[in-house]
Amino acid sequence: MTTGQLTDETAIRDLFDRSNQAWEAGDAHAYAAVFTADADYVTWFGQHVKGREAIEASHVPVFAKYLKGTHLDGEITRLRFLTPDVAVVHGRGAVVKGKRRRGRFNTKVNIYVAVRREGEWSFAAFHNTKYSWLFNTLAGSPEAAR
């Protein structure tokens, strides 16, 4: 890995951390700010939200009501650069409340597409899906061991 890639990886990991901090703060504006103006955002139940403004608007009621007081328990599991300005970021996480942690029944698998525009990294796409521990264990997936 080159010094430039290491710097870019650090910037992408910081972006991921900023999204988690904004979620924990219940700040829809700050959460949406990590995405591009034209981002694609797909939730685990299949809702497709298009654009930073729509991401923000869709998270206002989430943070105010449905998932108020929650935080993200997540991690980046793989980060791969497709070009110097585009990276695919794989992650795993869960929305939890209080001292709860992610586990077998609440884990989701995430994929982000990070892009650098005008020297700044942001997420151009996000997709979230339920992770099935049982299926992956039965299928012999190496991911099940993690």
pTM above 0.75, yes or no: yes
Confidence (pLDDT) at 142: 59
Return averaged pLDDT per consecutive 10 residues of the chain, 146 residues in all. 80 97 97 98 91 97 94 95 97 92 87 97 94 63 56
Q: State how far the Cα of 54 lies from the Cα of 141, in Å rounded to an integer.
A: 35
State the pLDDT at residue 102: 86
pLDDT at site 99: 86
Distances (CA, A) of 73 to 5, 16, 20, 53, 62: 26, 12, 8, 25, 17
Question: What is the structure's pLDDT at 123?
Answer: 98
Beta bridge partners of 53: none
DSSP 21: H
Give the per-residue pLDDT at 76: 97
Domains of the chain: 3-145 (3.10.450.50)
> What type of residue sits at position 120?
E
